[in-house]
Amino acid sequence: MDKEKAVTGKNNAVIQQAERLLRCVREETGWADEVLVFFYRLRDNYTVIASTSQYLRGKSFHALNPVIYDLESRPDETANNREQRSMITGILNDLAEGKILVLPAPPPASEPSSA
């Protein structure tokens, strides 16, 4: 599989999940836990390869850390906070529209064994 197809395939999975979660947020149907898990997976398993999003710049999803923290520690307050909800909706929308393109992050370098 060439790189372009790999990028498209991985982005399709991310796009589909972002679209589904975006619908949940807009419909206000118990979305905080699912978005939290999705954001954890993005942060831990993906690298941004291109972004025109106002929310994410650079190659990582570490900008999600404050939102992840709030979703984890105060899910109801976060879900009801207009500014945070706007950011979450914006990130999901930008992922769904392809404004944020991702690739799986390379595995961490293994440490040499000390035998």
Model confidence at 30, pLDDT cuts 50, 70, 90, reads confident
Distance of alpha carbon 2 from alpha carbon 91, whole angstroms = 28
Looking at the 3D structure of the chain, how many domains does it have? 1
Q: H or E segment at 10?
A: helix 3-27
Q: Which domain holds residue 9?
A: 3-101
Maximum C-alpha span of the chain: 56
Q: Say if 11 falls within a structural domain.
A: yes
pLDDT of residue 3: 47
Distance of alpha carbon 104 from alpha carbon 7, whole angstroms = 9
Helix, strand or coil, per DSSP, at residue 65: helix
Q: Say if 84 falls within a structural domain.
A: yes
Q: Say if 110 falls within a structural domain.
A: no
Q: Say if 83 falls within a structural domain.
A: yes
Q: Say if 109 falls within a structural domain.
A: no
Closest to 59 measured CA to CA, from 42, 37, 71: 42
Q: Say if 113 falls within a structural domain.
A: no
Q: Each residue of 41-78: pLDDT tens digit?
A: 999 999 999 999 999 888 889 889 999 999 999 999 99
Q: Say if 43 falls within a structural domain.
A: yes
